[in-house]
Amino acid sequence: MSQYPALRLRRSRASAWSRRLHAETVLTPADLIWPVFVTEGTEEEPIAALPGVSRWSLAGIVDRAREARDLGIPCLALFPNTPHALRTEDGREAVNPNNLMCRAIRAIKDAVPEVGVLTDVALDPYTSHGHDGIVDAAGYVLNDETSAVLVEQALVQAQAGADIVAPSDMMDGRVGQIRAALEGDGHVNVQIMAYAAKYASAFYGPFRDAVGSRGLLKGDKKTYQMDPANAEEALREVALDLAEGADSVMVKPGLPYLDIVTRVKSAFEVPVFAYQVSGEYAMIEAAAAVGAGDREALVLETLMAFKRAGCSGVLTYHAPLAARLLGA
């Protein structure tokens, strides 16, 4: 008789019930945040660079919130496609309390108050130059001047009913300023999810189509978004944002930066989220379209990887598909 060790690890894998029993990581619809794009008008606008994703009118956004509620998805992340006529050098439409974002927040909270609303705090959907802040004559994004506008932007979003404000700009010190302003304005329960480790990535292209900033950007964002070569710097960024009052932190993009997710979770033991960005979504869709992989299996496996790495949740355009699969 062949000699085997006393323990065969395959024993626990032999049956489906046993595999479920021994699973170390669990993925549910409650782990998902669904990013959605809002636009003016009344029509759905499919986004060519993101197959299966559309921009939605206010009525359509409310329908997406109802869909999220029914699927068990706890939160929507809103991104506006601001009309080009309203985009300016200083991005002043961002602080208009009746801008597209604020109207979308109010529409959702009036109709589906039980669904959380996360809002993007950054100026790139509002600037004519496509940067996340105010630029000087040389094209450099000014940190402190930008942060002052971001504080106003976060306040109008909170006043409209946002549950989580998510500064995605990577300006130094803005989390502390936003936290102080929210406290001072009585919004003590509005959370801050800081884009703490946001990298200057090649995976953002389809998103820029979705928010209408493709072709506007002058230069790149490497003076404020992180160098993909750096990991220790990410820990410093997270430490600063937590010290300034962030309730949770985000790593962006997702799959290429799972090592950062794990290091952040291990170092700080706080809620860590990742954004499976537009380029990641588009790659899965492209692979499925040519038969290089099964869409449903690819989606669930990648989302499980985020949870296994240490994520509390994931922002993903595949959220409704994943929720249906998980609820089946």
Contact 226, 249 (CB under 8 A): no
Torsion of CA 128, 129, 132, 137, to 10 degrees: -120
Catalytic residue chosen out of the listed positions 109, 221, 222, 252: 252
H-helix segments, the chain:
16-21, 58-71, 100-111, 143-160, 174-184, 205-210, 232-243, 258-268, 278-289, 295-309, 319-327
DSSP string for residues in 14-74:
SSHHHHHHT-S----GGGEEEEEEE-SSSS-EE-TTSTT-EEE-HHHHHHHHHHHHHHT--
Give the single-character DSSP code of 127.
B
Helix (H, G, I), strand (E, B) or coil at 147: helix
Q: Which amino acid is at 176?
A: G
CA 52/CA 71 separation, integer angstroms: 18
DSSP string for residues in 205-223:
HHHHHHTT-TTT--S-STT
Report which of 275, 222, 211 is spatially closest to residue 47, judged by C-alpha positions.
211
Nearest-10 crossing angle of helices 258-268, 232-243: 50
Report which of 261, 210, 209 is spatially closest to residue 234, judged by C-alpha positions.
261
CA 75/CA 195 separation, integer angstroms: 17
Q: Tokens 């990991």 — which residue?
A: 231
109 flagged as catalytic: no
Whole-angstrom CA distances from 11 to 14, 15, 47 are 5, 8, 47
Catalytic residue chosen out of the listed positions 198, 221, 265, 307: 198
| Catalytic sites, residue numbers | 198, 252
